[in-house]
Structure 1
Amino acid sequence: MAQATEACSPPRANSLDLTPPPPPSPPLSPPASPLSNPLVNSSSDHKDACSRDPFIVHNGHKFNLSAVPSRVMFYRNMYWEDFQGETLESLRSGFLKRTPTLLLEVEDDKYIFDFTRMLQVHVASKSFRSIAWIDERGKPFFPVKFFDHDFSQEKMEEDHGRAAEKENKKMEEDDDDKSDKRNEKMEVCDVSGSKTQSLGPKPKFPSTKLLASDDKMYKFASNLFLKHMTKVDPQAVVTNVHEFKVMGEFGRVRKDVLERQIEITEAKRGKANVVYAWYAAPTFHVAGILALGFDLPDHKNSGIQLPSLGAGIFLADVESPQYSALQYPVHQDPEKHVVLCRVVLGNVEKVHIESNQTSPSREEFDTGSDDPKNPNWYVVWGHDMNRRITPICVVSCKTTGIVPVEWKIFFCEIAILPKLISEIKKRIPIFNVPALNYIYEMFKCKMVSGDVFIRQFRSIVGDRVIWETAKAIMRS
């Protein structure tokens, strides 16, 4: 699967030359003509080009210092994830041959893996993201700067965009045809000879059906919402209900993915633990959820106040709809929209909402809650949110019961952070110090938010080192 250029073998001695052939090049020497990187302009003076290439300047020495990797990782959505299977073996094989650049085909797309620049480059689009590795001696090698890109998401969004556009165009054409036929049939003459016309309003959200008040789903969702919301706001009313409809290939895939996740969770945990939950969001976010699935909220100005809230989808328990707006401020909207969801929880652990947790704390857990035995809310972490959550319907309502949560800043965390960083630098490999310095300076200059800083901080250092160092500081 891998195609890579390697150093040429030394020429054979001719029959009259009794001098033995020169010894082979040392194993750490890079090849003379590495595979060209599409991100870097070619130059006749290779040495001069390398001296100007910031990727090589900062990361190039790590390739020569490293043994063969036991793990190779890529940086996607603020997380370091592992390459698996055949891709990992091809990367290990290329590293063993000291080939600095490899051309690999992964899932029908071609990528250049550049160990000296610590980049994975998508050949067609020239998009790139950072790679890192841990060698067989246990030494980690991370780039100085992290570059984040989701190739699969980019491709999926393009496919979904084309599919959604095609589906919407088809739906509009079908709606026009049906509307014309309905208009013809629904023109009924009364006794006086005048004509009356009865046409229902169009749905407000994509991939939905606007339900009549006597519809079974309308009654179910409305009663379920008001039963618990009126305990907080007796004046709450439901204005309408939109039922989510599975439409097109993308809709069928979403449904199949959830059913498959139920089977996987049952096999792994013994039970899937499927529940109903509420999720409130502004109108355009609700439309995005129905059209393309859940996406993590972007809290750019959250500082360190919302570390966990940017790492997953927070949903209210079915009996606590007042907690449905944990991630979006909808309390000022005159009409609020709350999505009733079906959620595959699996094993649930206790999570403090103001903590720094951004993923399950241990392998045996899948999701989190404020109180697993008596929950007000759940969190489904970002890496599998669209495998574990599917919308059922949207309940539109007028209520003052859905209110924002007052968040507290842990000033002790701010106070010890400089000392924590200073102490951690003494405990981690020297290769990781530049990356830590870089993200810390970005955070201090307010160029990255607190949740982004925490994710990268944990990726570089590791939770164990952070907690051990913090405990040592607190004891001193």
Structure 2
Amino acid sequence: MAMQTEIEDQASFTSVGSGEILDSISDDADSGFPPVRNLAGDGLIPIGEGNPEFNLITASFLSGLGPVASDTTTLSVLKNSTESVLTKAKFMVFRIFTAAVARKNGGVPNMKYGWFAGSKEEIRRIISLGFSGREIEKFANDAASHGVGIHLVPSKLSLAAALGTEPDEEGLRHLLLCRIILGKSEPLISGSRQMYPSSSEFDSGVDNLQNPQRYIVWSCSMNSHILPSYVVSFRSPRLGGISRDGILPRPSTTWVSFPALISLLSKSLDPPRMNLILETYDDFRKRKLRRDKLVQKMREVAGDDLLVHIIKNYRGTDRVMT
């Protein structure tokens, strides 16, 4: 069931209690294991294995990891609480803006969950102080970025988010799971330098309206439309074999060149998606786009499952994505 593997809307996730995350938070969450050092505290409460929230979050996280899921261990799930006056105020602000965006858009706030990847210290700072220009700078200098703002990855695409994590001194990686008020989203092309909504009609941005791989929240609303909710700490040795640029690991016996891969993809993708890959590859050949950005776009458009299937079944002798 999609509800078991993908954190999507409010009803499917908080099916117990009042249906609101901020109303369902308790101060006595059960912990089945010691919290990760230096991340517990500051209003973060460990959630133990067997807790419905723990089960759904870990199921969603692991199901989105694809080929690295089997070697990934979730060490801790920490939940943001309302222990401090400041945190309570942040929850109330988020609630107020949820209602405001809903009124603006015919009763639909378009609430989603999304991953934010960062270092342990960066996540601690966001939990304590909120998002800042430091997080926006990650994308401000990226020529292939879809707008300049806070970029989050849909909950079902945890591999894409995990690739952006940094191991800490103990080899653990950390992801911040956030609740997001998207409202009405506008599509943003790769390389867009847009920093604000193009008009009052829109509230956020996405890279693709039909199948978004990125949610973009503008700086003007980054601390009102994003609510940091959970921190997932994990160990995943195989992530070291996949670069942060999103390059797929090379199978030991089967490699495939870009032209061969594109030829094989044309047999599986519909014309609009195939045209998008061809246009991106043309930019790569003209040196308008870096190789890692081409690979990232191919992953976004074709999906990891299809790419891995093609590579594993290819019988050529070329290198992977050269």
Q: Structure 1 length as normaliser, TM-score?
A: 0.40
Pick from 112, 121, 143: which aligns with 1:275? 112
The equivalent of 1:251 in structure 2 is 87
Instruction: Say yes or no: does 1:345 pair with 2:182.
Output: yes
- Contact in 1 for aligned 2:135/2:150 (Cα 8 Å): no
Residues 115-134 of structure 1 mapped to structure 2, 5 A cutoff: none
Q: CA RMSD in A?
A: 3.3
Q: 1:309 to 1:405 in 2, by over 3 A?
A: farther
**Using the alignment, how far apart are the partners of 1:303 and 1:313 within structure 2?**
10
The equivalent of 1:239 in structure 2 is 75
Q: 1:325 to 1:353 in 2, by over 3 A?
A: farther
Instruction: Say yes or no: does 1:204 pair with 2:38.
Output: yes
Q: Which amino acid aligns with 2:224?
A: R
**Using the alignment, how far apart are the partners of 1:392 and 1:292 within structure 2?**
14
* Secondary structure of 1:297 counterpart: helix
* Secondary structure of 1:238 counterpart: strand
Instruction: Say yes or no: does 1:290 pair with 2:124.
Output: no
Q: Which has the higher contact order (CA 8 A, sep 6+)?
A: 2
The equivalent of 1:110 in structure 2 is none
Q: 1:361 to 1:299 in 2, by over 3 A?
A: closer
The equivalent of 1:221 in structure 2 is 57
- Contact in 2 for aligned 1:308/1:358 (Cα 8 Å): no
Q: Which amino acid aligns with 1:245?
A: S
The equivalent of 1:45 in structure 2 is none
The equivalent of 1:380 in structure 2 is 217
* Secondary structure of 2:177 counterpart: strand
Instruction: Say yes or no: does 1:404 pair with 2:244.
Output: yes
- CA displacement at 1:201 relative to structure 2: 5.3
**Using the alignment, how far apart are the partners of 2:287 and 2:140 within structure 1?**
12
**Using the alignment, how far apart are the partners of 1:395 and 1:217 within structure 2?**
12
- CA displacement at 1:388 relative to structure 2: 0.5
- CA displacement at 1:341 relative to structure 2: 1.0
Q: 1:383 to 1:245 in 2, by over 3 A?
A: same
* Secondary structure of 1:352 counterpart: coil
The equivalent of 2:208 in structure 1 is 371
Deviations 1:414-446 (A, max 9, x none): xxxxxxxxxxxxxxxxxxxxxxxxxxxxxxxxx
- CA displacement at 1:216 relative to structure 2: 2.8
- CA displacement at 1:217 relative to structure 2: 2.4
Pick from 68, 92, 98: which aligns with 1:262? 98
Q: 1:411 to 1:356 in 2, by over 3 A?
A: farther
- CA displacement at 1:411 relative to structure 2: 7.2
Residues 11-22 of structure 1 mapped to structure 2, 5 A cutoff: none
Q: 1:214 to 1:371 in 2, by over 3 A?
A: same
Q: 1:376 to 1:231 in 2, by over 3 A?
A: farther
Q: Which amino acid aligns with 2:114?
A: A
Q: 1:284 to 1:375 in 2, by over 3 A?
A: same
* Secondary structure of 2:153 counterpart: strand
Q: 1:301 to 1:221 in 2, by over 3 A?
A: closer
**Using the alignment, how far apart are the partners of 2:168 and 2:175 within structure 1?**
14
**Using the alignment, how far apart are the partners of 1:301 and 1:393 within structure 2?**
21
- CA displacement at 1:365 relative to structure 2: 1.2
The equivalent of 2:158 in structure 1 is 321
Relative to structure 2, which stretch is displaced further, 354-363 or 202-211? 202-211
Q: 1:332 to 1:230 in 2, by over 3 A?
A: farther
Query: Which of structures 1 and 2 has the bigger CA Rg?
Result: 1
The equivalent of 1:330 in structure 2 is 166
**Using the alignment, how far apart are the partners of 2:217 and 2:158 within structure 1?**
17
Deviations 1:57-77 (A, max 9, x none): xxxxxxxxxxxxxxxxxxxxx
Compare the two structures and name the one with the higher strand fraction.
Answer: 1
- Contact in 1 for aligned 2:154/2:215 (Cα 8 Å): yes
**Using the alignment, how far apart are the partners of 2:186 and 2:87 within structure 1?**
30
- Contact in 1 for aligned 2:147/2:194 (Cα 8 Å): no
Identical aligned pairs, as a percentage? 24
- Contact in 2 for aligned 1:315/1:323 (Cα 8 Å): no
Q: 1:319 to 1:239 in 2, by over 3 A?
A: same
- CA displacement at 1:299 relative to structure 2: 7.6
Q: 1:354 to 1:403 in 2, by over 3 A?
A: farther
* Secondary structure of 1:357 counterpart: coil
- Contact in 1 for aligned 2:131/2:222 (Cα 8 Å): yes
- CA displacement at 1:352 relative to structure 2: 2.4
**Unpaired segments ≥5 residues, structure 2:** 1-32, 248-282, 290-322
Q: 1:309 to 1:325 in 2, by over 3 A?
A: farther
Q: 1:234 to 1:353 in 2, by over 3 A?
A: farther
Q: Which amino acid aligns with 2:44?
A: T
Q: Which amino acid aligns with 2:245?
A: V
- CA displacement at 1:283 relative to structure 2: 0.3
